[in-house]
């Protein structure tokens, strides 16, 4: 399995025994499976909250995966812990409403980690209490973690905390004296941005908005320190995957470019640890981790049409294969089962796009391959069609949003679509500028090389109409413009986001000017 590290002989024995206990023919309480404890912790993304989002069909992929997990059951020894996203209500830790500080600078991260750890330890304590009976020893604690966005960062921080309290010996690991496996981590597009996010680096190039040694954060609306602007404060200082993790799967959003959403890869420097597998998916942050409502930005008028359904289904399968006790979809009611559906239209467009993009190599190269396709498509859609197909869907989008109780998003449809078109025109101008720089003998960054290549590409004009139409429909109907939907920093669609590889940072050569359609100034 991808990302599964080599296991010791004892770990292989433990894995086989644990997987055998998932056999439905096994009866709870049989000697070989009693006190085999399964604990799965789900950290939702920033601004995502299953209690409020599920009725609106905008719940994230983490929330959807959580809903397939059996309810916590002492007899079966299977437990699920759900942690609402930063900036959203979490009454158990005293957060009763949505929080600007939580959304902006990850306030509440420490409290969420502490609560999740306390809930985890309570479940372990239950098993330890039963283990006082000599016939009921804890045979294995099986821990799985899921997370999206800052929730993925929290999942990684949680793994590090647990790993620090584990002891290695005899080919395996123990926690509080009992055998434990941290056997699976399923992550969607990790973003830390704890404290001043990497987006604040924009201000280093923008002296007009600098005030002494402080910067006014458009996210939090308060003065924040102008140093260490990398979003890795406190609990997010080190997010490298611990060695005890058996398998970590990380899905990365290729088309996410916002300054305030820097990527924390699971790569460490130039190399991937043996226990991780990272896949770059097309789409922006919430096209990979979920969270968009049907019809938002005139995209995906049905839940099953969302691009995020593809990585959702892939992660579900990876988790089940690894042994996470998620229920089989066919056993679930239509309400939950339906949220894993992928329409034939979306599946066909995804396959066509992936065949065309042929993205490969390191993340930097794969990002270039994916953004190249976006550059040529967005330039065409905005400049040559004025997004006419999206414009034709405006009324239908507003109706879908109203029907799914997303009335607060209805006024945004026309406004954001106007920014989408402006962003595409800005990309078109940026491709021309990069090509001019190339012709003048200027040295180009990877970002500029990608833009210049896009300027030279005329296949959408002179190439086969069928291939052109599929690519345009992919970006017109499936891929959102997260810059247009954010407008809280100086991000530009033609820029790239920061990327972190453990303690190593990749900072792209971006356009740092303040002008742009999504600029808040």
**pLDDT digits 0-9 by tens, 259-277:** 989 999 999 999 999 999 9
Among left, alpha and beta (phi > 0; psi -120 to 50; other), residue 247 is beta
Distance CA 151, CA 1 (A): 24
Q: How confident is the model at residue 221 (pLDDT cuts 50, 70, 90)?
A: very low
Closest CA to 284 of 258, 310, 303, 309: 258
Closest CA to 289 of 309, 265, 303: 309
Residue 224: the pLDDT is: 36
Residue 198: the pLDDT is: 56
Residue 217 predicted with pLDDT over 70: no
Asked if 233 and 239 count as a contact pair (C-beta separation under 8 A), the reply is no
More confident residue, 233 or 224: 233
Q: Region 375-383: what's the mean pLDDT?
A: 96
How many residues belong to the chain?
521
Residue 244: the pLDDT is: 98
**pLDDT digits 0-9 by tens, 113-140:** 999 999 999 999 999 999 888 878 999 9
Residue 508: the pLDDT is: 86
Q: Region 221-226: what's the mean pLDDT?
A: 36
* DSSP letters for 248-303: EEEEEETT---TT--EEES-BTTB--TTEEEEEESS-HHHHHB-PPTTGGG--SSG
Residue 227 predicted with pLDDT over 80: no
Residue 521: the pLDDT is: 27
Distance CA 430, CA 451 (A): 7
Residue 57 predicted with pLDDT over 80: yes
- At 494, give phi and psi (nearest 5°): -85, 0
Q: How confident is the model at residue 11 (pLDDT cuts 50, 70, 90)?
A: very high
**pLDDT digits 0-9 by tens, 289-313:** 999 999 999 999 999 999 999 999 9
**Is 9-21+34-194+231-340 in CATH node 3.40.50.1820?**
yes
Q: Across all residues in the chain, what is the average pLDDT?
A: 90
Residue 487: the pLDDT is: 65
- Strands 166-169 vs 172-175: parallel, antiparallel or unpaired: antiparallel
Least confident piece of the model among 347-351, 439-443, 504-508: 504-508
**pLDDT digits 0-9 by tens, 33-44:** 889 999 999 999
Task: Measure CA 312 to chain center.
Answer: 11
Q: How confident is the model at residue 507 (pLDDT cuts 50, 70, 90)?
A: confident
Residue 32: the pLDDT is: 72
- For the chain, the structural domain boundaries read 9-21+34-194+231-340, 351-489
Q: What angle do CA 141, 142, 144 make, to 5 degrees?
A: 140
Residue 417: the pLDDT is: 97
- Strands 140-148 vs 178-188: parallel, antiparallel or unpaired: parallel
Q: Region 231-246: what's the mean pLDDT?
A: 86
Residue 230: the pLDDT is: 67
The pair of three-digit structure tokens given for residue 366, joined into one six-digit string: 């794969």
Q: Region 153-161: what's the mean pLDDT?
A: 97
Per cent of the chain over pLDDT 90 is 77
Closest CA to 144 of 181, 115, 175, 118: 181
């Amino acid at each position: 399995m991808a990302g599964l590290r080599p296991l010791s002989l004892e770990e292989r024995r433990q894995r086989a025994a644990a997987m055998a206990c998932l056999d439905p023919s096994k009866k709870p309480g049989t000697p070989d499976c009693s006190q085999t404890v399964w604990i799965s912790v789900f950290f939702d993304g920033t601004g995502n909250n299953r209690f409020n989002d599920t009725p609106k069909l905008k719940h994230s992929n983490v929330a959807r995966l959580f809903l397939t997990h059996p309810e916590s059951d002492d007899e079966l020894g299977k437990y699920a812990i759900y942690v609402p996203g930063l900036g959203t209500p979490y009454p158990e830790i005293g957060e009763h409403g949505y929080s600007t500080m939580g959304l902006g600078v990850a306030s509440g991260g420490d409290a969420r980690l502490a609560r999740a750890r306390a809930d985890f330890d309570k479940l372990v304590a239950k098993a330890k209490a039963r283990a006082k009976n000599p016939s009921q020893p804890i045979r294995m604690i099986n821990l799985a973690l899921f997370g999206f966005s800052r929730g993925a960062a929290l999942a990684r921080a949680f793994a590090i905390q647990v790993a620090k309290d584990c002891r290695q010996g005899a080919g395996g690991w123990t926690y509080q004296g009992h055998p434990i496996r941290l056997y699976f981590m399923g992550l969607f597009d990790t973003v830390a941005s704890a404290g001043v996010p990497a987006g604040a680096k924009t201000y280093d190039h923008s002296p007009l908005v600098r005030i002494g040694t402080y910067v006014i954060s458009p996210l939090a609306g308060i003065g924040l320190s102008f140093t260490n602007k990398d979003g890795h404060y406190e609990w997010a200082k080190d997010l490298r995957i611990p060695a005890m993790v058996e398998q970590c799967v990380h899905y990365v959003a290729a088309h996410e470019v916002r300054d305030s959403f820097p990527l924390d890869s699971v790569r460490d420097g130039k190399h991937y640890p043996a226990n991780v597998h990272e896949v770059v998916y097309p789409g922006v942050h919430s096209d990979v981790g979920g969270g968009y409502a049907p019809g938002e930005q005139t995209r995906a008028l049905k839940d099953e049409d969302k691009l995020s359904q593809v990585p959702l289904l892939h992660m579900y399968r990876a988790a089940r294969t690894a042994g996470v006790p998620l229920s089989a979809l066919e056993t679930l009611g239509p309400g939950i089962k339906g949220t894993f559906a992928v329409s034939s239209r979306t599946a066909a467009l995804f396959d066509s796009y992936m065949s065309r993009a042929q993205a490969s190599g390191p993340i930097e190269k794969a990002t270039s391959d994916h953004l190249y396709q976006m550059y040529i498509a967005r330039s065409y859609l905005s400049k040559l069609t004025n997004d006419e197909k999206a414009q034709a869907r405006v009324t239908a989008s507003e109706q879908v949003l109203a029907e799914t109780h997303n009335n607060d998003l209805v006024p945004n449809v026309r406004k954001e679509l106007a920014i989408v078109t402006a962003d595409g025109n800005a990309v078109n101008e940026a491709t021309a500028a990069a090509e001019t720089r190339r012709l003048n003998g200027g040295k180009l960054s990877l970002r500029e090389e990608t833009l210049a290549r896009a300027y030279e590409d005329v296949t959408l004009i002179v190439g086969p109409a069928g291939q052109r139409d599929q690519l345009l429909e992919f970006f017109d109907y499936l891929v959102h413009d997260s810059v247009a939907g954010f407008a809280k920093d100086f991000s530009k669609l033609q820029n790239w986001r920061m990327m972190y590889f453990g303690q190593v940072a990749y900072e792209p050569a971006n356009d740092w000017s303040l002008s742009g359609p999504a600029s808040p100034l």
